[in-house]
Structure 1
Amino acid sequence: MNTLLTISSQGQVLIPIRARKILGVVPGDRLKLRVVQNDALSSLVLELPTKSWTKRIAGVAEGQYGKGEEYVSSERDAWSRS
């Protein structure tokens, strides 16, 4: 979604309703503003702060260490046999 915004005399911009719905933001929510600059372009980026780091990182290592349930099952079987 690309939209042209106008800055008010108080330095405010209105985030279009479509963008607010896509992001799920409501009045009172806080957004992180990041300025990105390089030689050819300067940009402002609005980001939603992470509400729950636990939810954000859950599952990031999934599959990195093999099949966890199979490993635990085989270890239990090994202990049962000894």
Structure 2
Amino acid sequence: MATVIRAHFDGKVIVPDEPVDLPVDQPLEAELRVSEARLSPAEIEKRRAAIKRLAAKAIHGLNMPDFAFSRESIYWPPRGL
């Protein structure tokens, strides 16, 4: 069962922003990620600029056949041919 809990880090521990209904004395696994909504506007703009820089370096108009992207293409042509 997956449950999303909004929380913040106070410098020492993770503190839930609202009451939680979790089993007592039972091991839990946690997956933590920074919520986009909680990023500062400057940090969001910094990330968008990084994506734009990455996209600007892309090769536009490159025409490669799908076969070139397959794992088998590194072994083509077979030895002996």
Q: TM-score, normalised by structure 2?
A: 0.23
Instruction: Using structure 1 for the length normalisation, give the TM-score.
Output: 0.23
By relative contact order (CA 8 Å, sep 6+), the higher-ranking structure is: 1
